[in-house]
Structure 1
Amino acid sequence: MDTIIKAIVFLPLIGFLIAGLGGNAIGAKASEYVTSGFMIIAAALSWLVFFDVAMGETEVIKVSVLRWIQSGSFDVEWAFRVDTLTAVMLVVVNSVSTLVHVYSIGYMHHDPHRPRFFAYLSLFTFAMLMLVTSDNLLQMFFGWEGVGLASYLLIGFWYKKPSASAAAMKAFIVNRVGDFGFALGIFCVFVLFGSINFETIFATAATYLPAEGAADAAEPVINLFGMSLDKSQALTATCLLLFMGAMGKSAQFLLHTWLPDAMEGPTPVSALIHAATMVTAGVFLVARMSPIFELSHNALMVVTLVGAITAFFAATVGLVQNDIKRVIAYSTCSQLGYMFVALGIGAYGAAIFHLFTHAFFKALLFLGAGSVIHAVDGEQDMRYMGGLRKHIPVTFWMMTIGTLALTGVGIPGTVIGFAGFFSKDAIIESTFASHSPVAGFAFVMLVVAALFTSFYSWRLAFMTFFGKPRASADVMHHVHESPAVMLIPLYLLAAGAVAAGVIFVEYFYGHHYEEFWQGALFTGAENHLVHEFHNVPLWVKWSPFAAMAIGFVTAWYMYIRSPETPKALAEQHRGLYQFLLNKWYFDELYDFLFVRSAKALGKFLWKKGDGAVIDGLGPNGIAARVVDVTNRVVRLQTGYLYHYAFAMLLGIAALVTWMMLGSSL
């Protein structure tokens, strides 16, 4: 099993090296086949590990690779930790990445830089695998930053396109804000627990907090930002710093602005980043560190609040977007909010279950959108589509399945439903059953977000596939179904979007919860949500279904029955429409507060500080004074003999005067 785990992690790295260093030598086709072949092997092995660890008797597998850092008591080795949580992530990451690799063979076949593209895809996958198999926080940070680098390269793949370069820089910079908090959180963990190895942290966390009223309960243990914090306060601060890293990587409210702009990359990149890999790293981090998050109720409350606000905010923005990829991107942001609400209330199994199901239907939607874009000659604006279902029927049905899964179509109280129905409803019902002080607020936000999700999802379907064609006659003449190499990944993802929920619900968040997770997710002794959410009132169980139905009917009425209504409403509520269309003006606000102020400060330091003060008084100033002196001295060299004779007489007179006066003194 050790060899299998090493192969899973290192095969994408080998593919990256071959395509990246030898792509020009072996050619584009060979680069595609090598990287995709290695990913197919890694994905198959990942499922093997999943059934052995998660569905079998094995609890934890630890594979040592090499000794990394040893300095005093700080001892870190490069090792792979594979438990149920890791096994789930291996399946998700490698399965989606493999299908994206295969899909890209067809989608990118006209691009002249395919070896570089496939090398970046494999590099991204390797970095993500490093993150999810980490045995300590330093290794996780290594993978964390590797994912950030690879995402920068992928988003900016078409670097000659200014908007793509700007989007890549934006993603990189915004993530650095969250990563700064993550790094501080790692430092705090080391100070508090004396280690960054997960086994030591988890073993210590159980006895970390002193009993209430103990003599050392209020004793300061760390000084952070000038504040002396006791153990409880320090633990909360540490969790919030770690969550700050998760907010950046998983595009939560306030650190979300990079996610929609990441659509500037090729569509397969959007599927890879937004479906199951990079954006779920934050969810994985909080789930992995659940033993310490469970000790801080205040931190969990913040996680719940941020997740609920994100779910609502992103859903409102998705209502009016016209770019097909941006609608799905805001959907991702909203669904990540659901996952963080589940984490915040302690329903860790429900959060990872939604991560698992979301990977299938969101990758399906993104790749389906890519198939649509491929069919209409690169057009992404849904206002210039319409009537495509007869021209690309396979893509239509695949995206319909993805939409059914995303909106959570299913019958409450039964096992009839698409994948999203089981995981999303479990989160909503668990939120209602939770004893968190903000559970009521979160429940309302999630139900409203479910209604909005249904509306914008069906709005996308109706605008793209129904009604009269709005594209030019030339474009419609060339509309065609995607090749088999692009459709086969859609078939496989559609199977997951249909069946993943009903097959795995009892394992992730049901009767087999304890045997499945085997301690990989830590749940406090007072947390019984996995049982309590089944006993919520009937109206709670039906509320997501009702929201989904209302959203569907509203979208049908506005875009099929009465297509003139949306424009009339937009004109009638111009302010609200512009507010949502401009994404609550966060980009403009950040541009004013941070970008412009940073540029103004930089210009001031450049012109006044560097130019006027440092250069003016320093090198340039000294050089200028030397020039001034030499310009004056050179005037003495006139070339006239009487000038020199006069200077000599002055010199003799001065010398005689000095000798006369000097001798008298």
Structure 2
Amino acid sequence: MNYSSYIALIPLLPLAGFVLLGLFGQRRFSKSAGILGTLILLAATVLAFYTAYNYFFVSGKVNGVYQPVIALQYTWLQFSPGMSIDMGILLDPASVMMLVVVTFVSLMVHVFSLGYMKGENRFATYYAFLGLFTFSMLGLVLSTNIFQIYIFWELVGVSSFLLIGFYYDRPAAVAAAKKAFIVTRFADLGFLIGILILAFYSGTLDFGTMIQRLTAGDSSQLAQMTGSTFLGISILSWALTLVFMGGAGKSAMFPLHIWLPDAMEGPTPVSALIHAATMVVAGVYLVARLYPIYQLNVSVLQLITWVGAISAFLAAIIACTQTDIKRVLAYSTISQIGYMLFALGVPAYSISSGTGYTASLFHLFTHAFFKSLLFLGAGAVIHFIHTNEMGQMGGLRKLMPLTHLTFLIACLAIAGIPPFAGFFSKEEILMTAWQSNRTIYYIALITSGITAFYMFRLYFCIFWNKPSTHHNDHGEGALNMKLPLALLGVAAVVVGFIPFSQYVPVDGRAKEMTIPISFSIAPVAVALAGIGIAWALYYKENQRPQQLAAAFGGLYNTIRRKFYFDELYLFITKKIIFNGIAKPAAWIDKYVVDGLMNGLGIATTRVSESIKALQSGRVQAYAIYFFGGVIALAVVFIYWWK
């Protein structure tokens, strides 16, 4: 299959939309910008599905193994023979899967935004930013080398900054955009250092070549990296940890998770696109892309396991206390991405390693559909009643029947109830944990029960709880808002039945993953228990939730305040970094560096003031100086002559 004839159009179409709408949208396409941007994304999505069909069912396999295909390759900067920065397109099971996810979810967001953002100022600019983000994410997942992925990684950060801060007249949105940008920049510094270390020792930036050189049985590069140490830790461990640091920042993992909940200040469809399906899973995709190298280092995989497990558990607990529906979903996203990451890491505790890779990416795949559905459903609710607060909602099931049905489907999917999509992928993760590390399994099992609880707390508070007092002449939205909900609702039901391990295995060889029904009894029972507790507390309005909160007292307040992570970061930045480092540095800069320069300037000025009379312009003075000099020379000559 000749992919090169059209494959570049998939990322370039959104880029063309960004340029067109960014330059001319507000003046020439102010009303049709949404339609134009959506049609462009529709074309890219059709090409993405066509690519996936051809890769998975026509030409991707050779002798029963999926082969990576370099569809395009262009040398951008050549440093030395074998070392260059290339721009290319890599097609393999993981990248083709992400191609489908990014384009389809972005298309749903484009369509939904036609109704949700109608009448907004800078409507065309909004669609231009969506195009830029989609282009950036597509460039990231299709990258052939680690530096290309870093370039698009940073471009994704810029795009998210623009979208989170779209409402630039709102201080909270501006602060959230800056917070997301700054926190992820710290993480990305580690990512860049890790890239440079890997490139230095492997002698390449290309993914395939790097993996081949470091995983070969007699690899001299690997021997150098494992034999060299810094602070008692091998260079390989440092490199992989620093690369993971970038992934943890982008995926909002503990302790770099603080930016994601605040990022909900952007338009709700943006949350569905950036913070549910694409950007925040980039860290998972990065580890998966370098997974053969990560398998060489058990200690880093164990670090990934525990970062993922802690993030999943803490975020789930915090979500139980939040009252802003978008923040509940934000913490839910952190928790689910934690699942994906510990699934990648936990096989380090056992011989089997392929199951974690497939389970992680399977959950990434299913999560994209049901989480974007949850965010768009939340957007429909916010659009209907103009508030994010759960306390001002209730009884909306009859007023918003389609939103109610699709939101319920998404809640069942994320809770892990069969036969919805999340059940299948979450069971594979739990099975991997059970086979590898029982402690992680029990943490994951408890987290799944908490997930079911807080999601149905959200569901009951929105659609049941109390009689509705809301009225909206526009109903639950036009067709352009209902259609994405319906399509994503269908996806949240059916995509779990895809035999994912046959299409996205770790080594390209299709595998069969079967989970005994007996194994699923405990996870489903725990999820049903969580739903039951949520039903008892929130199905009808009562005082039990307030009584429980009061009974837990300080613990509840600590969780509601997100374990004071924001306050801790503010203390570190303001009290330690600003007062302890920045202020002394500013004093040195002002009084030592500037003082030295100012002193030199003042001294120069005074010297010039004292000698400028020598250049007065008076001929008489010059004559006196001349004859005085002649006399002085004569005296010196006579003295030395003697």
Task: Name the TM-score, length of structure 2 as normaliser.
Answer: 0.87
Note the 1:336-375 alignment, pairs <5 A. Answer: 336-344=337-345, 345=347, 346=353, 347-375=356-384
C-alpha distance in structure 2 between counterparts of 1:190 and 1:65, whole Å: 19
- For residues 144-189 of structure 1, give each alpha carbon's deviation from its aligned partner in whole angstroms, at most 9, with x where no partner exists: 1110110011001111111111111111111112211111111111
Structure 2 residue aligned with 1:156: 165
Decide whether aligned partners of structure 1 residues 618 and 82 sit closer, same or farther in structure 2, where only a CA change above 3 A counts.
Answer: same
> What is the letter of the counterpart of residue 495 of structure 2?
A
- For residues 608-636 of structure 1, give each alpha carbon's deviation from its aligned partner in whole angstroms, at most 9, with x where no partner exists: 223333344542785499799999xxxxx
Contact 2:177 2:263 in 1 (8 A): yes
Structure 1 residue aligned with 2:480: 485
Residue 534 (structure 1) shift: 3.4
> What is the letter of the counterpart of residue 280 of structure 1?
V
> What is the letter of the counterpart of residue 592 of structure 1?
F
C-alpha distance in structure 1 between counterparts of 2:162 and 2:227, whole Å: 38
The correspondence for 1:426, drawn from 413, 425, 428, is 428
Structure 1 residue aligned with 2:392: 384
> What is the letter of the counterpart of residue 152 of structure 1?
F
Structure 1 residue aligned with 2:527: 548
Structure 2 residue aligned with 1:289: 290
Structure 2 residue aligned with 1:268: 269
Residue 395 of structure 2 aligns to a residue whose secondary structure is coil
Residue 488 of structure 2 aligns to a residue whose secondary structure is helix
Contact 1:376 1:478 in 2 (8 A): no
Decide whether aligned partners of structure 1 residues 157 and 488 sit closer, same or farther in structure 2, where only a CA change above 3 A counts.
Answer: same
> What is the letter of the counterpart of residue 498 of structure 1?
V
Decide whether aligned partners of structure 1 residues 604 and 2 sit closer, same or farther in structure 2, where only a CA change above 3 A counts.
Answer: same
Contact 1:376 1:479 in 2 (8 A): no
Residue 81 of structure 1 aligns to a residue whose secondary structure is strand
Decide whether aligned partners of structure 1 residues 624 and 391 sit closer, same or farther in structure 2, where only a CA change above 3 A counts.
Answer: farther
Does residue 22 (structure 1) correspond to residue 28 (structure 2)? The answer is no
Structure 1 residue aligned with 2:635: none
Decide whether aligned partners of structure 1 residues 269 and 175 sit closer, same or farther in structure 2, where only a CA change above 3 A counts.
Answer: same
C-alpha distance in structure 2 between counterparts of 1:188 and 1:358, whole Å: 33
Decide whether aligned partners of structure 1 residues 521 and 138 sit closer, same or farther in structure 2, where only a CA change above 3 A counts.
Answer: farther
Residue 261 of structure 1 aligns to a residue whose secondary structure is helix
Task: Name the TM-score, length of structure 1 as normaliser.
Answer: 0.85
The correspondence for 2:410, drawn from 379, 402, 412, is 402
Structure 2 residue aligned with 1:116: 125
Residue 490 (structure 1) shift: 0.6
Residue 13 of structure 1 aligns to a residue whose secondary structure is helix
Note the 1:159-174 alignment, pairs <5 A. Answer: 159-174=168-183
Does residue 534 (structure 1) correspond to residue 515 (structure 2)? The answer is yes
Note the 1:147-546 alignment, pairs <5 A. Answer: 147-207=156-216, 226-227=230-231, 233-344=234-345, 345=347, 346=353, 347-377=356-386, 379-410=387-418, 417-434=419-436, 439-469=437-467, 476=471, 480-502=475-497, 504=498, 506=499, 508-509=500-501, 513=502, 516-517=503-504, 534=515, 538=518, 540-546=519-525
C-alpha distance in structure 2 between counterparts of 1:257 and 1:313, whole Å: 12
> What is the letter of the counterpart of residue 23 of structure 2?
L
Residue 210 (structure 1) shift: 6.5
Decide whether aligned partners of structure 1 residues 109 and 596 sit closer, same or farther in structure 2, where only a CA change above 3 A counts.
Answer: farther
> What is the letter of the counterpart of residue 205 of structure 1?
L
Decide whether aligned partners of structure 1 residues 267 and 219 sit closer, same or farther in structure 2, where only a CA change above 3 A counts.
Answer: closer
Residue 296 (structure 1) shift: 1.1
Contact 1:419 1:499 in 2 (8 A): yes
C-alpha distance in structure 2 between counterparts of 1:81 and 1:303, whole Å: 26
Structure 2 residue aligned with 1:137: 146
C-alpha distance in structure 2 between counterparts of 1:112 and 1:607, whole Å: 41
Residue 557 (structure 1) shift: 0.4
C-alpha distance in structure 2 between counterparts of 1:23 and 1:255, whole Å: 36
Does residue 127 (structure 1) correspond to residue 114 (structure 2)? The answer is no
Worse-superposed segment, 357-366 or 615-624: 615-624
Residue 539 of structure 2 aligns to a residue whose secondary structure is helix
Decide whether aligned partners of structure 1 residues 343 and 465 sit closer, same or farther in structure 2, where only a CA change above 3 A counts.
Answer: same
Contact 2:140 2:152 in 1 (8 A): yes
Structure 2 residue aligned with 1:31: 33
Residue 292 (structure 1) shift: 0.3
Contact 1:271 1:366 in 2 (8 A): yes
Q: Percent identity at matched positions?
A: 40
C-alpha distance in structure 2 between counterparts of 1:286 and 1:541, whole Å: 28
- For residues 278-318 of structure 1, give each alpha carbon's deviation from its aligned partner in whole angstroms, at most 9, with x where no partner exists: 01111111111111011111111111111111110110000
Residue 594 (structure 1) shift: 2.4
Contact 2:184 2:249 in 1 (8 A): yes
> What is the letter of the counterpart of residue 10 of structure 1?
L
Residue 227 (structure 1) shift: 4.0
Structure 2: gaps (5+ residues): 61-66, 348-352, 611-642
Contact 1:290 1:521 in 2 (8 A): no
Note the 1:57-68 alignment, pairs <5 A. Answer: 57-58=59-60, 59-68=67-76
Structure 1: gaps (5+ residues): 411-416, 632-665
Structure 1 residue aligned with 2:576: 597
- For residues 115-138 of structure 1, give each alpha carbon's deviation from its aligned partner in whole angstroms, at most 9, with x where no partner exists: 111010010000001100000001
C-alpha distance in structure 2 between counterparts of 1:419 and 1:220, whole Å: 41
Decide whether aligned partners of structure 1 residues 522 and 141 sit closer, same or farther in structure 2, where only a CA change above 3 A counts.
Answer: farther
Contact 1:392 1:481 in 2 (8 A): yes
Contact 2:215 2:222 in 1 (8 A): no
> What is the letter of the counterpart of residue 34 of structure 1?
L
> What is the letter of the counterpart of residue 487 of structure 2?
L
Structure 1 residue aligned with 2:547: 568
C-alpha distance in structure 2 between counterparts of 1:208 and 1:184, whole Å: 26
> What is the letter of the counterpart of residue 466 of structure 1?
W
Worse-superposed segment, 115-124 or 609-618: 609-618
Residue 62 (structure 1) shift: 1.4
C-alpha distance in structure 2 between counterparts of 1:605 and 1:123, whole Å: 41
Decide whether aligned partners of structure 1 residues 363 and 78 sit closer, same or farther in structure 2, where only a CA change above 3 A counts.
Answer: same
Residue 74 of structure 2 aligns to a residue whose secondary structure is strand
Residue 245 (structure 1) shift: 1.1
Residue 561 (structure 1) shift: 5.1
Residue 65 (structure 1) shift: 4.8
The correspondence for 1:7, drawn from 6, 9, 18, is 9
> What is the letter of the counterpart of residue 198 of structure 2?
V
> What is the letter of the counterpart of residue 480 of structure 2?
V
- For residues 69-123 of structure 1, give each alpha carbon's deviation from its aligned partner in whole angstroms, at most 9, with x where no partner exists: 1111322321101111111000000000011011111111121101111010010
Contact 1:324 1:382 in 2 (8 A): yes
- For residues 300-350 of structure 1, give each alpha carbon's deviation from its aligned partner in whole angstroms, at most 9, with x where no partner exists: 111111111111011000001000000011111000011011111231111
Residue 193 (structure 1) shift: 1.2
C-alpha distance in structure 1 between counterparts of 2:493 and 2:54, whole Å: 24
> What is the letter of the counterpart of residue 493 of structure 1?
L
Residue 139 (structure 1) shift: 0.6
C-alpha distance in structure 2 between counterparts of 1:147 and 1:255, whole Å: 17
C-alpha distance in structure 1 between counterparts of 2:600 and 2:594, whole Å: 6
Contact 1:221 1:228 in 2 (8 A): no
Decide whether aligned partners of structure 1 residues 209 and 559 sit closer, same or farther in structure 2, where only a CA change above 3 A counts.
Answer: farther
